[in-house]
Amino acid sequence: MAEGAEKPRNLEEYENLARKRTAQTYFQYYNYPGTAGQTSTDSIAAFKRYRFRPQLMNDVSTRKLSTTLLGKPVSLPIGVAPTAFHRWVDTNGEISTAIGASAVGSAMIQSSFSAKHVRDVRAAVPHGVLWKNIHIWKDRRITKALIKAAEEAGYDALVITVDSPMTAVDTDEFRRNYMLYNHRDMRYPLMDLGLEEQEEAKRQGDENMILYFASQYDASVTWKDIQWLKTLTSLPIVCKGILTGRAARQAVEAGANGIIVSAHGGRQLDGVPASIDALAEVVEAVRGRNVEVYMDGGIRNGTDVLKALARGAKAVFVGRPILWGLACGGAAGVEHVLTILRTELDFAMALCGCSDVNAIPSDVVVHESFYNISKSKL
């Protein structure tokens, strides 16, 4: 944001400003809603189907927003979800994002498709809570290298994408719309291992191996591969992309320490439920199993965060709005987006009679059908 310019007041204003400040092709990629946009649209709309039932006359003169994620303290239950290509809108890319997140005491999940090395991100935020997102690629050497780099950089957990046996990216469209731009903005230093197959991809014109990695998605991956990962690392493992109780139980049985209820922003399988709708089922399925449940998708206001916490999430992660903040103001923009959500959450907690994010009563939020059912009994 230009010096002296008025800061956006909410996430909608950030989106509108980011649309003006970001190259159209890049903004379209960030906001890609999937084939028909059903899940992406519903992920936002779904929060409006939940209603608050405030607990009145509670002492909310002081409110606690700090919590822990896998034992690491954070100042608020709102983190940064893994998203690709931060360098498209900020020269320092994920480094700026991490600095903005750390400034408010938030956690950040760094995408596999990052243009910044984990050691450089960690150096920028030596005390920040950082998790590394990885895929289980066909060439397991790449996966092993990602894990080793994350461990050496002192990252706090691994986040495994489990809902993408294939990529929904149209490689022809990607080549046409994105690979024509500055190649430096699309390099993956962590995954470029100099393997012969990778060098051959470069010789064939795939300089940054975009199409190579599109071919590396492994449709043979099973829960046994999560068990395999557990033999490689002592870092906690979080499985991202779970929407059913069955999958949640399978993740825990495979050794997961955490679960992110996520519909992948609607970018993979369009037509799956909004994360907030799937959340309660997942929470109930793993209750008492010593696993933390988080959620991403559709968060646009602090009231959305409170609804997710009441439905059983330990914390939420935010994707696209972080990119909007980064596009508008770099690290300061990321910090401000998270600060807006924190302020809105704090206000909603006070009005709902809640004083601690770690003890949000489940009955402070109900699905709108509660009132239809109640009326039918009159």
Burial class (CB in 10 A: 0-12, 13-18, 19+), 234: exposed
> How many angstroms separate the Cα of 174 from the Cα of each of 9, 25, 250, 283, 378?
34, 10, 34, 37, 56
The phi and psi torsions of 292 (rounded to 5 degrees) equal -90, 140
Residues sharing a CB contact under 8 Å with residue 293, sequence separation 6 or more, in sequence order: 248, 258, 259, 261, 279, 282, 283, 286, 312, 313, 314
Q: Where are the alpha helices (DSSP H) in the chain?
A: 11-21, 24-30, 38-45, 94-103, 118-124, 140-152, 171-177, 196-203, 210-214, 223-232, 245-254, 275-285, 302-310, 320-351, 369-376
Supply 276's token pair: 């907030």
> CB–CB of 286/249 below 8 Å?
yes
The phi and psi torsions of 51 (rounded to 5 degrees) equal -120, 145
Angle between helices 140-152 and 223-232 (to 10 degrees): 40
Q: How far apart are CA 296 and CA 274, in angstroms?
A: 10
Supply 124's token pair: 């920028």
Residues with catalytic roles: 264
Q: Which residues of 77-102 are buried (b: 16+ CB within 10 A; e: fewer)?
A: bbbbbbbbbbbbbbebbbbbbbbbbb
Supply 208's token pair: 């940054």
